[in-house]
Structure 1
Amino acid sequence: MADLNYPMEFTFKIGTIWNDFVAQDANGTTVAYVRQKMFKLKEAVSVYNNDAKSVLLYKISADRWIDYNASYRFTIGDSETATGRVGRKGRKSLWKATYEIFDLDDNLEYTIREENPWAKVWDALLGEIPIVSMFTGYLANPRYVVEDPEEQPVIRFKKKPSFFGRHFTLEKVGELKKEQGERVLLSLMMMSLLERRRG
């Protein structure tokens, strides 16, 4: 990926059968187009350089077909060259989303933690009320923080108030090397697909 210029925004497309979104940087330049493959037993995601799908940058693949405690491996393009992985923390994730990001040598690099788990609870409850359910995208907006092993925040990721919950912003608040930044970005891409589906 090109040099990452923060803050960034993920905008999910609506009216398509695909679970896909565009990632843009602070200048409005498209950094990636992310498409989740449908009808797969295991999660499979392709990350392209633009929505014309000119160049496949990365693939994200699940290690199992059951989502609980699944790990998602990042590989470059069509190769099998791995760059790291992200995994959901099982029991800790039942109440609030917690993911761990690992480097190429499988060392824990960062943790993604949900800051306001009640947002999902309210979203689910309000989503059951006719008419009110149309506005839950404005009322319930989860926030996440990416922390290093010393629990210092490096990225804040949040859903913006919007219909259909389609806009997310990513703000850099700490230091990241380019390779680390790409791993964190890929992890947040995968997490946003998973968490958006859960509500």
Structure 2
Amino acid sequence: MSTFNYPLHFQFKIGTIANDFIAKDESGQTICYVREKIFAWRDQVKIYSDESKANLLYELISDKLIDFQQTFTIKDHSGRIVGKVRRKTLRSLWRSTFRLINNEDNHDHTIQEKNPWTKFMDGLFGEIPLIGILSGYFFNPAYLLSNNDGRVLFEIKKEPSFFGRRFTVHKLTSDNVDEERFVISLMLMVLIERSNG
């Protein structure tokens, strides 16, 4: 993946069994098609150039069969390790947190939920009969990708909708950063977190 034309838009498909979405840039050009493999022993995500699935770009494979301190390894089509993403399961009971690990196996960036109260209120409001379906219009989580110094580089927000199917990614820095690894990590995070809000 090269430099992108921000903001990026992740649009989940409605009415399919698979957990998948199309990523597009600001001009509406398709960047890739992201699909989580279902009915697999280990969680696995594949990223293709488009919906035809003819050209595999990346593969993300979980290191564990169960979701506890789960780590996904990101590999490109040639088998090169791009990095890893580790989900902090225990902490995510309150605030969703994902640690980004570089190809030298060092934790250097973090994706964290901006406001954990949004998830709490969405869960509470969502339990109210009939009106609960409107929670997706009022409680929309946002996530920040920051470095170890706390500087925020990217933000991803869920857009208001009934089904929580649209997310927008904003790059908040003009610096030359590892966009390939960061955008893929945000794609993985949103697959896991899209049901929040």
| Bucket of the pairwise TM-score, normalised by the shorter protein | over 0.9
Q: Pairwise mapping of residues 137-156 of structure 1 onto structure 2 (< 5 A)?
A: 137-156=136-155
Pick which of 119-128 and 94-103 moved more: 119-128
Deviation of the 1:176 alpha carbon: 5.0
Judged with a 3 Å threshold, the aligned counterparts in structure 2 of structure 1 residues 175 and 93 are, in CA distance, closer, same or farther, namely farther
Tell me the SS of whatever aligns to 2:60: strand
**Could you say which residue in structure 1 is the equivalent of 2:103?**
104
Deviation of the 1:198 alpha carbon: 5.9
Could you tell me how far apart the structure 2 residues matched to 1:42 and 1:151 are?
32
In structure 2, what residue type is equivalent to 1:81?
R
Tell me, yes or no, if the aligned pair for 2:141 and 2:196 is still in contact at 8 Å.
no
Deviation of the 1:103 alpha carbon: 1.2
Deviation of the 1:197 alpha carbon: 4.3
In structure 2, what residue type is equivalent to 1:41?
W
Q: Pairwise mapping of residues 12-161 of structure 1 onto structure 2 (< 5 A)?
A: 12-77=12-77, 79-161=78-160
Tell me the SS of whatever aligns to 1:193: helix
Could you tell me how far apart the structure 1 residues matched to 2:53 and 2:196 are?
27
Could you tell me how far apart the structure 2 residues matched to 1:54 and 1:27 are?
23
Could you tell me how far apart the structure 2 residues matched to 1:15 and 1:133 are?
20
**What's the C-alpha RMSD, in Å, of the aligned pairs?**
1.5
> Normalising by the residue count of structure 2, what TM-score does the alignment of the two structures yield?
0.94
Could you tell me how far apart the structure 2 residues matched to 1:176 and 1:107 are?
21
Q: Pairwise mapping of residues 167-186 of structure 1 onto structure 2 (< 5 A)?
A: 167-175=166-174, 177=176, 180-186=178-184
Deviation of the 1:175 alpha carbon: 3.9
Could you tell me how far apart the structure 2 residues matched to 1:143 and 1:30 are?
23
Judged with a 3 Å threshold, the aligned counterparts in structure 2 of structure 1 residues 68 and 175 are, in CA distance, closer, same or farther, namely farther
In structure 1, what residue type is equivalent to 2:49?
N
Deviation of the 1:26 alpha carbon: 1.1
Deviation of the 1:67 alpha carbon: 1.2
Q: Deviations over 1:159-184 (max 9, x none)?
A: 01012000101000014546x11111
Could you tell me how far apart the structure 2 residues matched to 1:95 and 1:134 are?
22
Moved over 4 A (4+): none
Aligned residues: 197
Could you tell me how far apart the structure 1 residues matched to 2:175 and 2:68 are?
29
Tell me the SS of whatever aligns to 2:163: helix
Pick which of 126-135 and 62-71 moved more: 126-135
Tell me the SS of whatever aligns to 1:4: coil
Tell me, yes or no, if the aligned pair for 1:126 and 1:133 is still in contact at 8 Å.
yes
Could you tell me how far apart the structure 2 residues matched to 1:112 and 1:176 are?
18
Could you tell me how far apart the structure 1 residues matched to 2:2 and 2:50 are?
12
Could you tell me how far apart the structure 2 residues matched to 1:81 and 1:99 are?
21
Q: 5+ residue gaps in structure 1? A: none
User: Aligned residues: percent identity?
Assistant: 42
Tell me the SS of whatever aligns to 1:137: helix
